[in-house]
Amino acid sequence: MTKVHNFSAGPGILPQEVLKQAAEACINFDHLNLSLLEISHRSKSFEAVMSKSRQLVKDLLHLDDDFEVLFLGGGASLQFAMVPYNLLRSDGKAGYVNTGVWASKAIKEAKIIGNTAVIASSEDSKFSFIPKGYEIPEDLDYLHITSNNTIYGTQMSTFPKTAVPLVCDMSSDIFSREVNGNDFGLIYAGAQKNMGPAGSTMVAVRKSVLGKTGRKMLSMLDYQVHIKGESMYNTPPVFPIYVSMLTMEWIKNNGGVSHIEKLNNEKAALLYAEIDRNSLFKGTTAVEDRSKMNVTFVMHNPALEPAFDQLAKEANLSGLRGHRDVGGYRASLYNALPIESVKVLVEVMQHFEKKQA
């Protein structure tokens, strides 16, 4: 089978061994001679999957006993509404940092729920940097941030220090670097970047931040209901959760997050060095805020893009085009992408420069 170098921004690349295990589980799961897709989510076999998945999140994020881990449906987009619904008091206020499209969508949903303030934004600069040095009001019910911005290629290298609960959308860089989850009130992440296939969302929430809104809660949107049901208040997305479990085991068995972070740093450094060196390309974001997950860049001469696209295709480079809203190129360097793929991309960029000389 021809090797394809998968730079897709999401759903993103998964480890080959995980895909093989997942494929086998679709035929014969846990030696039951039944498919994972056709057994009860209340069976002991799947309950073990759910239990292990939740524990792996706690292990990888170093979470203390005040945290509960949930696996829910609806993607991170549902969390845009569930976060304020569960944390924003009827007479309170939420703060948001706007660093891109997904943060903007989260702000839109929060404003429907209650009083929402945008306390910092890089929108005026087309989200090319991460805001810094802003004041965080002490009366906020929570502060919401987005750690990595897939479309614009920016990433928070450090997180705000605040006494209010910090809520973070880590959909596109979860488990890509060491994070002390205890610094947050709530972390959520769609699985389809570094954790598993699309269809499940992980939520890690401090129990102490819940139950304070003063509103009567709809059951399906209530974190406390899902906590009580151990993520099985309704039928969970069993296959994405199982693949997420396998992927987290893969991380843990391959040196853990600290080793993954080292490899990710090497991949990003290699590609950014070529972008900065190559006379045909340039980066699109502030250097200090460059994402190590989603590397965005453009050509000085856009007329050369079709020729470069053809060369990339011949080298089996897939998923390099930038988001439709911004154009250019985006190379997503998720955990499972080997550095060999980045080397091929760099070689293609160097070859293309020589051709155009």
Q: With residue 356 as reference, give the H or E element that holds it.
A: helix 339-356
Q: With residue 94 as reference, give the H or E element that holds it.
A: strand 94-98
> Looking up tokens 């009580």, which residue turns up?
228
pLDDT at 2: 79
> What three-state secondary structure class fits 136?
coil
pLDDT at 179: 97
Please give the domain boundaries of the chain with CATH numbers for all domains. 16-253 (3.40.640.10), 256-356 (3.90.1150.10)
Rounded average pLDDT per 10-residue block, the chain, 357 residues: 90 97 97 95 95 98 98 97 98 98 98 98 97 97 98 97 97 98 98 95 98 96 98 96 98 97 98 98 97 98 97 97 92 98 98 93
> What three-state secondary structure class fits 89?
coil
Measured between alpha carbons, how far is 320 from 45 in angstroms, rounded to an integer? Answer: 39
pLDDT at 1: 66
Query: Are the C-beta atoms of 75 and 171 separated by less than 8 Å?
Result: no
Query: Are the C-beta atoms of 70 and 92 separated by less than 8 Å?
Result: no
Q: Which residues are catalytic?
A: 102, 169, 193
Q: With residue 167 as reference, give the H or E element that holds it.
A: strand 166-169
